Amino acid sequence: EVQLVESGGGLVQPGGSLRLSCAASGFSFRTYWMSWGRQAPGKGLEWVANIKQDGSEKYYVDSLKGRFTISRDNAKNSLYLQMNSLRAEDTAVYYCARGMNGYEEYYDFWGQGTLVTVSS
Amino acid sequence: EIVLTQSPATLSLSPGERATLSCRANQSVSRFLAWYQQHVGQAPRLLIYDASNRATGIPARFSGSGSGTDFTLTISSLEPEDFAVYYCQQRKNWPPLTFGGGTKVEIK
């Protein structure tokens, strides 16, 4: 069974940093593109970033470039999101998602999400 | 950036009725469009990809159509578990991958 379990969310002050993790199981993690998305409270979905199977390609939404960094460790079946200089508008549930095989920009499995709250 | 506009924002229907949801792009996305379902407090679930292909395990009452700038998700006969929020997403021109604002299907 495919499982994606996010962790690392919590309350952080404006300007602070947080590192999210996503533990993957039930599939060959190293063969899939992976992504982070987010959803602000009561709002819609927003794509954040994605990363190729071997980590050689990474793409971000423009508004987050320079502050957020996506990475992966295939030996640990894990995906990460390093978030720096956090702002109130970064408050959201952050989801880890798997790119569908052959259609990598569609997401066929999502984790349950981890809540990040940026507030003083 | 491709902007996706979904309508209506809310659809009030009864179980057994047909639901028709719209997604319009501000420029052509060919057929590179997906639909997701999301229940409150849950993760999104992929329903349709490339405009009309049902994802694995998705019931046949869900169908997608359209190309270019206009797309439709149809639920032929609403089941109780279908009341949720639905999002469209494009992959034609990225980054960024973009989502529509969502349509909430609620019980009338």
Q: Could you read off the pLDDT of A8-55 as tens digits, one per residue? A: 999 999 999 999 999 999 999 999 999 999 999 999 999 999 999 999
Q: What is the pLDDT of residue A32?
A: 97
B99 contacts in chain A (CB < 8 Å): 44-47
Looking at the DSSP assignment, which residues form a beta bridge with residue B71? B23, B66
Instruction: For chain A, say whether B49 makes contact (Cβ under 8 Å).
Output: yes
What's the CA gap between A74 and A28, in Å, rounded? 9
SS3 A104: strand
A62 contacts in chain B (CB < 8 Å): 95-96
What's the CA gap between B37 and B48, in Å, rounded? 10
B87-91 mean pLDDT: 97
B46-53 mean pLDDT: 98
Q: Which residue of B has its CA nearest to A47?
A: B97
Q: Could you read off the pLDDT of A64-101 as tens digits, one per residue? A: 988 999 999 999 999 999 999 999 999 999 999 999 98
B30 contacts in chain A (CB < 8 Å): none
DSSP B56: T
Range of A63-67, A102-106, B39-43 with top mean pLDDT: B39-43
Check if the beta carbon of residue A35 is closer than 8 Å to that of residue A106: no
> Closest by alpha carbon to B91, among A63, A112, A100, A62?
A100
Q: What is the pLDDT of residue A65?
A: 80
